[in-house]
Amino acid sequence: MTSTILIRGAKVLGGEPQDVLIEGETIARVGTGIEAEGATVVDARGAILLPGLVDLHTHLREPGREDSETVLTGTKAAAVGGFTAVHAMANTFPVADTAGVVEQVWRLGRESGYCDVQPVGAVTVGLEGKQLAELGAMHESAAGVRVFSDDGKCVDDAVIMRRALEYVKAFDGVVAQHAQEPRLTEGAQMNEGVVSAELGLGGWPAVAEESIIARDVLLAAHVGSRVHICHLSTAGSVEIVRWAKSKGWDVTAEVTPHHLLLTDELVRSYNPVYKVNPPLRTEADVLALREALADGTIDCVATDHAPHPHEDKDCEWSAAAMGMVGLETALSVVQHTMVDTGLLDWAQVADRMSFRPAAIGRLEGHGRPVAAGEPANLVLVDPAYRGVVDPAGFASRSRNTPYEGRELPGRVTHTFLRGRATVVDGKLA
Ligand SMILES: [Zn+2]
């Protein structure tokens, strides 16, 4: 039986209130005064309707670290955050460097039913940076991998990076680089600057990120291939990406919500919840990143959702794992830093969190306009909501959020995956 849902009075992409009729898996009509007998009606007056969000950078941890997250719990967290598709990073155990592993992750995602999972394939065998993984086999597998990344580690060998860029060009794939020069970041614990000097913690210089980005945009231009830069964190990185785009090179970039809000001043607390890779930077970097996301130099927001179990974070700073969960708070942080500050409107949020990440990943069925005939992958947001972040209520298996106790605006009230409500009134359906 086909279900019919009538979303009434939602501001589509922040515009005038409209009704949206969903029949089965598809948007049937968008307009005003739509009536549909027998439909489930969702009163969405005051809410913003966006296309389902797409994340280019999620760590789901399965296989191998199911104590921090599984595909099921991670996709539940994604749905709560308004996502209908996530790209699952390859740094699992075993590493997603073969057709077998990416197919396993892809299948687990389909079985979850909460959010589509598009596996990212490793660039090199075991993420060791020495030998190219079976990129073609992963692309040709049922998972249809198009994004390749050694994320967590940098592909620091220029010859390997060049070969990967050449290889993926054949099937319009993209290499997503975690830009971190390994020698310049040996023993690094936080951003290199005034705060690291005062605290006596090993510094992580901006140039360690920027030098790799500079090299890789040049390599991508030389090869005529696509490169995507993960989690930009410095003002200098923004300048390099801006320059590469001005040349017409096929370079895209993402920024995380936490790099749009938090600074290295927080490390003074020695609370490992603020330990993340790349590290939290300075206020000047945060402002440059916001401006770059607003003007389109940075294409999209990506969460870098990095769940860790309590015991890996609740220890002294130097021993703690790097990373933060992010799926369930991403849209609120973007509203807080970009919308409520007047830097982006909701149509641009749809662009940076749905259209563009889907386009970069060449993902079908997501990042589509809210229009008749399109798949009903949608999210309703209440922008007037104000709430304090309480990780105890997270759908994620992990709790390592830097926003605990912080008031953030906005709440996802409904998420629809191909017409099925995965979230209703802010709760998993
Ligand atoms: Zn990374």
CATH number at residue 417: 2.30.40.10
- Rounded to the nearest angstrom, the distance between the alpha carbon of 231 and the centre of ligand 1 is 7
pLDDT for position 2: 72
Q: What pLDDT score does 1 carry? A: 55
* Alpha carbon of 246 to ligand 1 centroid (Å): 25
Among the three residues 305, 331, 360, which one is the final residue of a domain in this structure?
A: 360
Residue 247 is assigned to a structural domain of this protein: yes
> What is the 418 CA–ligand 1 centroid distance (Å)?
30
Give the Å distance between the CA of 142 and the centre of ligand 1: 25
The answer to whether the annotation marks 151 as part of a ligand binding site is yes
Verify that 31 and 166 share a domain, yes or no: no
- The length of the chain in residues reads 429
My answer on whether 44 and 187 are in the same domain is: no
Express each pLDDT in 347-404 by its tens digit: 999 999 999 999 999 999 999 999 999 999 999 999 999 999 999 999 999 999 999 9
Shared-domain flag, residues 303 and 348: yes
Residues 44, 91 within the same domain: no
Q: Do 300 and 184 lie in a common domain?
A: yes
Distance CA 27, CA 246 (A): 38
Rounded to an integer, the average pLDDT of 289-311 is 97
CA 37, 38, 40, 43 torsion-angle sign: positive
- d(CA 211, CA 329) in angstroms, rounded, equals 31
Distance from residue 312's CA to the centre of ligand 1 (Å):
18
Q: What is the mean pLDDT of residues 108-113?
A: 94
Residue 305 Cα to ligand 1 midpoint, Å, equals 10
- Select which of 97, 304, 312, 351 is catalytic: 304
Distance between Cα 30 and ligand 1 center (Å): 39
Q: How far apart are CA 115 and CA 135, in angstroms?
A: 24
Same domain, 29 and 141: no
Distance (Å, whole) CA 211 – CA 422 = 42
Distance 178 CA to ligand 1 centre (A): 5
Same domain, 233 and 380: no
| Residue 206, domain member (yes or no) | yes
Mean pLDDT of the chain: 97
Q: Tell whether residue 57 is among the known ligand binding residues.
A: yes
Name the residue among 278, 302, 260 with its Cα closest to residue 87.
302
**Per DSSP, which regions of 89-189 are E strands?**
116-119, 147-148, 174-177
> Tokens representing 233?
């964190």
Provide the residues around ligand 1 (an ion) whose CB is within 5 A. Answer: 151, 178, 230
Question: Same domain, yes or no, for 253 and 320?
Answer: yes
Average pLDDT over residues 397-413: 98
Identify the residue whose tokens are 């409520």. Answer: 340
Span from the CA of 259 to the centroid of ligand 1 (angstroms): 13
CA torsion sign for 312, 86, 326, 122 is positive
> Which residues span the domain enclosing 59?
52-360
User: Does residue 298 lie within any of the structural domains?
Assistant: yes
pLDDT tens digit sequence for 117-176:
999 999 999 999 999 999 999 999 999 999 999 999 999 999 999 999 999 999 999 999
Tell me, what CATH number does 282's domain have? 3.20.20.140
Asked whether residue 65 falls in the same domain as residue 131, the answer is: yes
271 known ligand binder: no
400 appears as a binding residue in the annotation: no
Position 367 in a domain: no
H or E element in which residue 29 lies: strand 26-31
Q: Are residues 290 and 422 in the same domain?
A: no
Tell me if 336 is assigned to a ligand binding site: no
Last-in-domain residue among 329, 360, 391: 360
**Claim to verify: residue 264 and residue 399 sit in the same structural domain:** no
Residue 368 lies in a domain: no
Phi-psi region of 335 (alpha: psi -120 to 50; beta: other; left: phi over 0): alpha
Count of domains forming the chain? 2
Res 181 pLDDT > 90: yes
Residue 218 labelled as part of a binding site:
no
- Catalytic site residue 304? yes
**pLDDT computed for residue 321 by the predictor:** 95
Task: Write down which residue in 318, 337, 360 finishes a domain.
Answer: 360
User: What is the per-residue pLDDT across 56-102, written as a single tens digit (0 to 9) for each?
Assistant: 999 999 999 999 999 999 999 999 999 999 999 999 999 999 999 99
Judgement on whether residues 207 and 95 belong to the same structural domain of the protein: yes
Residue 365 lies in a domain: no
Asked whether residue 234 is assigned to any structural domain, the reply reads yes
